[in-house]
Amino acid sequence: MTVQTQYQTIVIGAGAIGSATAYWLAKRGQRDVLVLEQFGVGHDRGASNDHHRIIRHSYHSSVYGRLTRAMYDNWAALQAEAGQRVFVQSGGLDIAIEGTAGIESQERYRAVMRENGVGFEELGKEALLERFPQWQIPEDRVMATFQEETGFIDIRRATATHLALAQSMGVTVLDHTPARVIESVDGGVRVVTDQGVFTAEKVVVCAASWTDELLQPLGQTWRTTITEEQVLYVRPADLGAFSLDRFPVWVWHGSDFTYGFPTYGEVAIKLARENLTRVVTQQTRRTEPHADETEVLLDFLRERLPGAVGSVEFAKTCPYDLTPDRDFILDSLPGHPNVIVGSGAAHAGKFCGLLGEILSDLAVSGRSAYPIEAFRADRPALVDPTFTPVFNLKG
């Protein structure tokens, strides 16, 4: 069998962003698109294989707030086309105790939503506990925000849906085919793999925590920090109280950014926190959960959601790929106009459909109508070697 080696665009990585990019390239009329995936499609070594990614309008910056309406519209269009439920609406709560740093984060969230015309409810302690008595909050002064459009993306289903539609439009997917080398050549790019050499007009690198291995030889000016995070699934003692129709997605803005979900996908709730302290590489990261992290999360449930305390169903780790300023990278690599970078900075699950659309714009026409100036690859945080990394999204 003759294997095609020349394509219009090559996408490296079949995770959430890469699969969406392949889909949007095909929607734009490209049929000679190749997706290279180093592992099996749907593998669990990255960050695109789970039930949930929070989708919300509440953000710390209008850099993102200006994109959330288009993000929701993008998912609605995908659901209508594919007939697959990838967005689950539950409503969302942000909670902080007066006198803590979490109040400033919530004030920023509210300001961003007001700026972008998004409605929300302001809840004091009495209103919060009347609506959601699952919470245990002895403190007198509480700031809570409820936004009804909040929910989560079923990231595993979303990734599979994008990829299936892309393949139905003629996109070629080669799994177990890691890209080893990317080279800029006259009029395009060349990608070297163990299965052969492929050429294209453009390459879109959606390799998450493997990005540096591919782009450092081309002069990448930043370094991606990889941290090992952990999620926990717990079967609540009061199962009905935490069902999808009775309990929302939530974020607790305290000393940690702790968040969780109602029961979905498993007969269990899911919760996690942004730890951001276990710095690893793909070679040193572990898949076994950390007992101390599990205990931190269980302690949170005991203190704040006692009805959710129950048997631990399972815990698992996942990698975060962090840019120095924790902002996306959606741009051509400086000095290599045909090498396009799509980095989600470990908070792009909710945006991945829209990011695929944007990256396809950049590949096809070299520009996007969306406001993405903040995500340039030549911004100070990426080119200034003295920049001090800032990884939290608390505002």
My answer on whether 101 and 140 are in the same domain is yes
The predicted structure's pLDDT at residue 47: 79
Domain boundary among 271, 293, 322: 322
Query: What contacts 24+ positions apart, CB below 8 Å, involve 196-200?
Result: 196/3, 196/5, 197/5, 198/5, 198/6, 198/7, 198/10, 198/34, 198/36, 199/5, 199/6, 199/7, 200/6, 200/7, 200/8, 200/9, 200/10, 200/34
C-alpha 200/C-alpha 7 separation (Å) is 5
What is the CATH classification number for the domain harbouring 125? 3.30.9.10
The predicted structure's pLDDT at residue 1: 45
CA dihedral 230, 231, 233, 238 (to 10 degrees): 120
- The tokens for 18 are 């890469």
Q: How far is CA 350 from CA 231, 236, 253, 301, in A?
A: 17, 26, 20, 25
Instruction: Work out the percent of the chain whose per-residue pLDDT is above 90.
Output: 93
pLDDT digits (tens, 9 = 90+) for 269-323: 999 999 999 999 999 998 899 999 999 999 999 999 999 999 999 999 999 999 9
| Residue 78 domain-assigned (yes or no) | no
My answer on whether 342 and 359 are in the same domain is yes
My answer on whether 196 and 332 are in the same domain is yes
| Nearest residue to 155 (alpha-carbon basis) of 260, 265, 275 | 265
My answer on whether 318 and 239 are in the same domain is yes
Q: Chain-wide mean pLDDT for the chain?
A: 96
pLDDT category, 6, cuts 50, 70, 90? Answer: very high
- The tokens for 272 are 């996690």
The predicted structure's pLDDT at residue 184: 97
Residue range(s) defining the domain that contains residue 140: 90-149+225-322
Query: What contacts 24+ positions apart, CB below 8 Å, involve 284-292?
Result: 285/226, 285/228, 285/317, 285/319, 286/228, 286/317, 287/316, 287/317, 288/317, 289/230, 289/232, 289/314, 289/315, 289/316, 289/317, 290/230, 290/317
pLDDT digits (tens, 9 = 90+) for 236-255: 999 999 999 999 999 999 98
3-class SS of residue 78: helix
My answer on whether 350 and 309 are in the same domain is no
The predicted structure's pLDDT at residue 2: 52
The predicted structure's pLDDT at residue 394: 57
Cα 353 to the chain's mean position, in Å? 10
My answer on whether 271 and 205 are in the same domain is no
pTM: 0.97
**Amino acid identity for residue 29 in this structure:** G
My answer on whether 132 and 237 are in the same domain is yes
| Residue 169 domain-assigned (yes or no) | yes
| Residue 393 domain-assigned (yes or no) | no
My answer on whether 192 and 309 are in the same domain is no
Domain count along the chain: 2
pLDDT digits (tens, 9 = 90+) for 220-241: 999 999 999 999 999 999 999 9
Angle at CA of residue 319, ends 313 and 325, nearest 5° = 135
How many Å is the maximal CA-CA distance in the chain?
72
My answer on whether 139 and 240 are in the same domain is yes
My answer on whether 176 and 141 are in the same domain is no
Q: How far is CA 387 from CA 222, 223, 299, 393, in A?
A: 10, 11, 36, 17
